[in-house]
Amino acid sequence: MSRKHSRKRGNSRNRPRPRWRRVLLVALVLSLVATLAYGAWLDHNVRSQFEGKRWSIPATVYARPLELYAGRALTPDQLLTELEAAGYREIPAADRPGSWSRNGNAVRLTTRAFDHWDGHEPSVSLEVRFGDGHIQSLQRPGSAHAPSLARVDPAQIGAIAPTRREDRLLVQLDDVPVTLIGGLLAVEDRQFHRHHGLSPSGIARAAVANIRAGRIVQGGSTLTQQLVKNFYLTGEQTLSRKLNEAIMAVLLELRYDKRDILETYLNEVFLAQDADRAIHGFGLAAPYFFGEPLADLPVEHQALLIAMVKGPSYYNPHRHPQRARERRNLVLRVMAESGVLGEDEARAAQEQPLGLISRHSAPRHNYPAFMDLVQRHLQRDYRREDLQTEGLRVFSTLSPLAQSAAEQAAKARLAGQSDALELGVVTLEVDSGEVTALIGGRDAQFAGFNRALDAKRPVGSLIKPAVYLAALERPARWGLGSLLDDSPIELEDEQGKVWSPRNFDETHRGDVLLVDALAHSHNVPTVRLGMDVGVTAVTDVVRRLGQVAPRRAYPSYLLGTAELSPLEVAQMYQVFAAEGFRVPLRSVRAVSDGQGAPLKRYRLATERVVAPESVYLLNYALQRAMREGTGSIAYSVLPRSLALAGKTGTTNDYRDSWFAGYSGDTLGVVWLGRDDYGTIGLTGATGALGVWAETLAQLSARGFNPARPQDVERVWIDRDTGKRSHDRCDGAVELPYVVGHEPERWTECGRREHERGDESDGSWLRRWFQ
């Protein structure tokens, strides 16, 4: 009682005290509110960043997967070219995913598991035996099982990303080797599974370890704190920053479970700088440093990555190999001490070299021209931002084999030529319309002006097949044996001036057979033919071949004033190669999202745009061009047994050298020229054809042997008069004709032998009466 009383009294005696208390109370409340508000703000920050954190993941573009099956045309060297492009390594046992070994005509390899757009393909070991340029057999080593077909995981040919960027390859926790996680926690945060964001004992242990080692071997920050630091904060070292970091780490732990935090950490941590690209996350660091996916890394590589966390630049193994190696071995020791690794395993790993892929000796192959085509293709269906950020997976049609063949051919043929000589190359698969290789300029590795797509140049004689096709589509008037007038002609050009086309060799031959006029690319008979058929009939053909053609064209159009890119020419000639069926060219087979769900497929589509009979006759003439006409020099590189069809093109003053041609499986278009339209002194045959022939020599396995349509038969024609003849007559050539449209008039010899033939042979008569 008395104390109460006295206190009351005291209160009344000291008047200022209640005010002080009130101030204190207000201050407390205020600071509580402020702290709460600050905490809420931080919490909001943590949450919105963590959940809203959508790493911007560039779209990954893959080559087409190589299919292995007995009977496929493939050599061991070609297989190794493919495997190298896909980042496979030579290992004697070839038993690790992404490895191979070769023993003469046999290659053993182990594929990596891969999520194709149409399903998962597990890792398999294969023994591939070769012979005669083909795969003889395919087997699982140590098993009687012989798979009929196997798909090799495809090369990653590029990414679609903004120019200055953070790059990463997202991994899921379950795909990360347990030893890596164990090692990371052992080194960076032993208490990870127990603490709530902060770890006083961790700090203490780190301090002890550091003192014992005489240098900093462990950091005191928890992984959570490190993540917060990477994620939200700037680099300044202040007390308030430390405090914020601590609060946010605790908040993060309150909000999210350990797995989420760990997975985010594994993807976020900065590990290297590669020019304008920051390498974030273990998923990308693994292929960046070792050329292997994270899941396949041996422990010494895992340890090296863990070692780099502490100081990506200080422990950069390229710049400071000794330092990096020491720290790696320290990490391995810690891993052994904490039971992540066995002692022996750790010791063995410590003996291993760093195992880095050299950045200089093995530069990543670039496919800039093809990537450009893929991006243009995708931009029809996707926004640029989505391509750059959504982690899409793009399954393209690029064949590393075809690309390598084309690049080698271009390099060999352009060696020693003027630096100003540029080129564009397209190769594609005839029946599927899939673009397999693309070269946009002399330096195929350089992303510059993409001539394969953007150099629109006069096509010269490459237009001629359209002229002849227009004629052959009118079999009542023209056949391969029609005589064309090769005498000089005068026409009016665009400006109303007199234009008189000349033959390339400046001579005139009188009359020539239609088939020879195309095979030898004579200009004058072509112009005469085109004028007879009508220029509009020719432009109609060009449109059916998928190209834009002027509504009103001048006679000079018949000699190739139309300006087309190599890719457009490829689309045009694809129709001939596929015997009248147009197949829209494709560079992408399918796109799936970051989780592997298919988003879009680009299907094979086709349409008959030229009748089978007409295109068969045209192809006959284009084959003749290769056998004995303007393209015949191709057979100095290619075997005579390979049937080919194609056409040279040369423009005025030797400004453009073109070749477009095909075998049964591969179509190629090559353009050579200068960007400034200067003369290059090469014809289609002396320039582009060489690159084409060397490319096909590497690629093509099947000759072009179109089946003769039912309504086409072979008849003997007199070369000089174009009349019906007989194989027993001089100057007779056998040519295919549409049934019912053979020439009505006969040569004397032809008729005589024809009638006599029936009598003397008489086999059908005999058969008739038997």
Partner 1 sequence: MTGARCAVQGVLVALVVLLAGCAALQERDRVEPDDVPSEEPGATIPDDAQAPAWEAAVRDLMAEAQQASDDGDHERAGALLERALRIAPENAVLWHNLAVVRYREDALDQAESMAQRSVSYAGDNIELQRRNWEIIAVSRYLRGDEDGADAARRRAEGLQEAGGE
Catalytic residues: 188, 461
C-beta of 137 vs 352, nearer to partner 1:
137
Dihedral angle sign, alpha carbons of residues 83, 87, 93, 96? negative
Please identify, among the stretches 62-70, 232-240, 465-473, 529-537, the one whose residues bind partner 1 according to the rule CB under 8 A: 62-70
| 129 scored as a contact of partner 1 (CB under 8 A) | yes
Among 14, 31, 136, 313, contact with partner 1 (rule: CB under 8 A): 136
Among 25, 362, 548, 605, contact with partner 1 (rule: CB under 8 A): 605
Nearest approach, Cβ of residue 323 and partner 1 (Å) = 50
Size of the site for partner 1 (CB under 8 A): 38
State CA 704 to chain mean position distance.
26
Among 158, 458, 612, 690, contact with partner 1 (rule: CB under 8 A): 612
Whether the CB-CB separation of 660 and 644 falls below 8 Å is answered with no
Provide the 3-class DSSP secondary structure of residue 496.
coil
Q: Show the tokens assigned to 274.
A: 């590669």
Q: Show the tokens assigned to 354.
A: 């760093």
Q: Residues 424 to 463: which contact partner 1 by CB under 8 A?
A: 429-432, 434
d(CA 385, CA 153): 27
| 492 scored as a contact of partner 1 (CB under 8 A) | no
Q: Residues 280 to 309: which contact partner 1 by CB under 8 A?
A: none
Element (H, E) at 660: strand 656-662
d(CA 751, CA 311): 93
| 608 scored as a contact of partner 1 (CB under 8 A) | yes
Nearest approach, Cβ of residue 581 and partner 1 (Å) = 6
Nearest approach, Cβ of residue 615 and partner 1 (Å) = 10
Angle at the Cα of 230 from the Cα atoms of 229 and 236, rounded to 5 degrees = 55
| 71 scored as a contact of partner 1 (CB under 8 A) | yes
From first CA to last CA, the distance across the chain in angstroms is: 148
C-beta of 434 vs 694, nearer to partner 1:
434
Dihedral angle sign, alpha carbons of residues 473, 474, 480, 485? negative
Please identify, among the stretches 131-139, 645-653, 688-696, 715-723, the one whose residues bind partner 1 according to the rule CB under 8 A: 131-139
Please identify, among the stretches 445-453, 522-530, 607-615, 648-656, the one whose residues bind partner 1 according to the rule CB under 8 A: 607-615
- Candidates 722, 732, 734, 519; CA nearest to 628 is 519
Among 21, 601, 745, 756, contact with partner 1 (rule: CB under 8 A): 601
Q: Show the tokens assigned to 419.
A: 């630096």
- Candidates 751, 659, 705; CA nearest to 426 is 659
C-beta of 429 vs 694, nearer to partner 1:
429
| 139 scored as a contact of partner 1 (CB under 8 A) | yes
| 121 scored as a contact of partner 1 (CB under 8 A) | no
| 72 scored as a contact of partner 1 (CB under 8 A) | yes
| 118 scored as a contact of partner 1 (CB under 8 A) | yes
C-beta of 397 vs 561, nearer to partner 1:
397
Among 149, 211, 254, 412, contact with partner 1 (rule: CB under 8 A): 149
| 189 scored as a contact of partner 1 (CB under 8 A) | no
Among 288, 581, 659, 746, contact with partner 1 (rule: CB under 8 A): 581
State CA 240 to chain mean position distance.
50
| 75 scored as a contact of partner 1 (CB under 8 A) | no
Among 19, 215, 360, 603, contact with partner 1 (rule: CB under 8 A): 603
d(CA 544, CA 582): 8
Contact partners, residue 536, CB within 8 Å, separation at least 6: 553
Nearest approach, Cβ of residue 585 and partner 1 (Å) = 15
Angle at the Cα of 113 from the Cα atoms of 109 and 115, rounded to 5 degrees = 135
- Candidates 187, 218, 209; CA nearest to 304 is 187
d(CA 124, CA 140): 8
- Candidates 208, 197, 186, 484; CA nearest to 309 is 186
Nearest approach, Cβ of residue 69 and partner 1 (Å) = 4
Give the per-residue contact string, 733-752, with partner 1 (x = CB under 8 A; - = no). Answer: --------------------
Whether the CB-CB separation of 79 and 96 falls below 8 Å is answered with no
| 596 scored as a contact of partner 1 (CB under 8 A) | no
Ramachandran class of 271: left when φ > 0, alpha when ψ lies in -120 to 50, beta otherwise: alpha
| 597 scored as a contact of partner 1 (CB under 8 A) | no
| 607 scored as a contact of partner 1 (CB under 8 A) | yes
Among 49, 56, 101, 137, contact with partner 1 (rule: CB under 8 A): 137
State CA 83 to chain mean position distance.
15
Among 2, 148, 237, 760, contact with partner 1 (rule: CB under 8 A): 148
Q: What is the DSSP letter of 57?
A: B
Nearest approach, Cβ of residue 571 and partner 1 (Å) = 17
| 239 scored as a contact of partner 1 (CB under 8 A) | no
Please identify, among the stretches 423-431, 561-569, 640-648, 742-750, the one whose residues bind partner 1 according to the rule CB under 8 A: 423-431
| 473 scored as a contact of partner 1 (CB under 8 A) | no
Cα dihedral 16, 22, 28, 34, rounded to 10, equals -120
C-beta of 263 vs 429, nearer to partner 1:
429
Q: Residues 691 to 710: which contact partner 1 by CB under 8 A?
A: 707
Strands (E), 507-558: 511-513
| 721 scored as a contact of partner 1 (CB under 8 A) | no
Q: Look at strands 165-167 and 277-280 and give their pairing.
A: parallel
Provide the 3-class DSSP secondary structure of residue 325.
helix
Nearest approach, Cβ of residue 68 and partner 1 (Å) = 9
Place of tokens 């050009």: 493
Angle at the Cα of 603 from the Cα atoms of 367 and 63, rounded to 5 degrees = 25
| 579 scored as a contact of partner 1 (CB under 8 A) | yes
SS (H, E, C) 132-185: CCEEEEEECCCCCCCCCCEECCCCEEEEECCCCEEECCCCCHHHCCHHHHHHHH
Please identify, among the stretches 134-142, 157-165, 196-204, 690-698, the one whose residues bind partner 1 according to the rule CB under 8 A: 134-142
| 69 scored as a contact of partner 1 (CB under 8 A) | yes
C-beta of 57 vs 401, nearer to partner 1:
401
Q: What does the binding site for partner 1 look like in residue numbers (CB under 8 A)?
A: 67, 69-72, 118, 129, 134-139, 143-146, 148-149, 429-432, 434, 579-581, 601, 603-608, 612, 664-665, 707
